[in-house]
Amino acid sequence: MRKLIQTIKNIWKIEDLKTRILITLAFIAIYRFGSFVVLPGIDATVLSQANENSGGPTGLLALLNMFTGGAFAQASIFALGIMPYISASIVIQLLGMAIPYFQKLQREGESGRRKINNITRYLTILIVGGQAPGFIANLKATWLNVAVNMPDGSISYVFPNNEVSASFWIMSIIILITGTLFVMWLGEKITDRGIGNGISLLIMIGIIALLPMSLVQEFTSSTINNQGGLVKFVLEMVILVVVIGLCILLVQGTRRIPVQYAKRIVGNKQYGGVRQFIPLKVNASGVMPIIFAQAIMFIPMTLAGFSDSDQLTGITQALSDFAGFWYNALFFVMVVIFTYFYTAITVNPKQMADDMKKNGGFIPGIKPGRKTAEYLDSVMSRITLPGSLFLGFVAILPAFAMQAGVNPQFAQFFGGTSLLIIVGVVLDTLQQIESHLLMRHYDGLMEKGKIKGKSSGSMM
């Protein structure tokens, strides 16, 4: 405790770090405030009561609602959040692996990065321009003509006149597009002037925003409603802490490959001759395999909506049960497959071997060039297997929690995308804070070792 207090004092002694933290908190406060500003033309009180009566969004919509901190269900001006930007970033990243033009931009350094960022922003506008009408259509299909029983006994409608006018469509689409662009701007400003990765930080804040309510609901159901009692709730907290610890191991786990650099004498100075290490991450793909697998898992449900086939409907029902065996078995297999796929396209052993050779480096006992690339590829294949199995296990942990009687909303924090994002972003932010402390010759956040965040491997 004394070390923690001293560390906090050291943080506030560093003027630049203190300013960055305050700026980050201010931008996060703006983001959370906007999440409660409802689109004009919708009765916020009635919509809140309607969500409470229905239990809120389910399936893919529940996932989107979690990433936006509840803004999706509240029909906020930030309802689509930062996810269109994330989708655009993923598309550009995949294009960079297949299209020479984007590969060329990636090699151009800072100027290429600026061009890629501009293309990503324009693509974000296109994506959110397509998603905004879909959001309004879903809002209309869900709540139009639905009478909501209010606590005072009155009957009201989400749309005050129980109609959706053309002006509402146009105004809402413009507001949703502007809202996403503003959130994107907030994220970039946090990255530039604050602490941590702004985009990832906003996603994490959205996820954590739902944690207090989910925690209260779980405590209420366990103790007050007598569904297991206080012992069950305490046991759940212990298991959650253990799962968080396992996720930290997954995020930080690396295999260090020793690299020796040849000695070079330039003038009177000697360069090289030192041993360094290449950290190969056990989970080099981060959370992306889970996101890809979740997107694929919703395809059968979408196809079933356009078909009257009883057989297809039966398959859809089996794959729609998030706590069911077949859904989680298929989900686990897909996460493992996508982990290998994403690792293969993001980690390039040949390029690593070429860069090492150009800089006069070699792995002891391995010939430079092709042999080094083959060795790195074999090591990555071996460490990816346990990493992919562990990632698949973490992905289906919420299903085990639901089977054990945990509230579905609270069960999402026992694993899956949400927990991995939280762990990755927190570690990255703490690593940056620790870097500021060490740079000013203060003690780090840990007594032994250093915190390794996403700087050694991105989660997003």
Give the tens place of pLDDT for each residue, 121-140: 999 999 999 889 988 988 88
Give the residue numbers spanning the domain of 82.
11-209
Structure tokens at 190: 């946090």
Cα 367 vs. chain centroid, distance in angstroms? Answer: 39
Q: Is 309 exposed, middle or buried (0-12, 13-18, 19+ CB in 10 A)?
A: exposed
Identify which of 243-252, 431-440, 447-456 has the greatest average pLDDT.
243-252
User: Are both 419 and 347 inside the same structural domain?
Assistant: yes
Question: What global pTM score does this model have?
Answer: 0.80
pLDDT at 455: 44
Task: Quote the DSSP letter at residue 454.
Answer: G
Average pLDDT over residues 231-236: 86
Confidence of residue 30 (pLDDT cuts 50, 70, 90): very high
Average pLDDT over residues 361-380: 87
User: Are both 43 and 77 inside the same structural domain?
Assistant: yes
Instruction: Provide the pairing of β-strand 275-281 with 254-261.
Output: antiparallel
User: Are both 202 and 274 inside the same structural domain?
Assistant: no
Final residue belonging to a domain, choices 175, 209, 243: 209
- Of 220-229, 349-358, 424-433, give the lowest mean pLDDT range: 220-229
User: Are both 337 and 297 inside the same structural domain?
Assistant: yes
Q: Are 428 and 421 in contact (CB under 8 A)?
A: no
Measured between alpha carbons, how far is 460 from 220 in angstroms, rounded to an integer? 34
62-107: pLDDT as tens digits: 777 887 888 888 899 999 988 888 888 888 877 877 788 888 887 7
State the residue for tokens 């803004």: 71
List, as one string, the DSSP characters of 122-183. Answer: HHHHHHHHHHHHHHHHHHHHHHTT--EE-TTS-EE-SSTTS---HHHHHHHHHHHHHHHHHH
Measured between alpha carbons, how far is 189 from 212 in angstroms, rounded to an integer? 27
Structure tokens at 220: 């209420």
pLDDT at 384 over 60: yes
Q: Are 434 and 445 in contact (CB under 8 A)?
A: yes
Q: Is residue 5 part of a domain?
A: no
311-347: pLDDT as tens digits: 555 666 666 667 778 888 888 998 899 888 888 877 8
Which stretches does DSSP call E strand in 202-252? none
User: Are both 32 and 68 inside the same structural domain?
Assistant: yes
Structure tokens at 286: 């981060």
User: Are both 107 and 242 inside the same structural domain?
Assistant: no
Half-sphere exposure of 340 (CA within 13 A, CB side): 12
Q: How many domains does the chain have?
A: 2
pLDDT at 443 over 80: no
Final residue belonging to a domain, choices 183, 209, 235: 209
User: Are both 18 and 120 inside the same structural domain?
Assistant: yes
Q: Is residue 3 part of a domain?
A: no
285-294: pLDDT as tens digits: 877 788 777 7
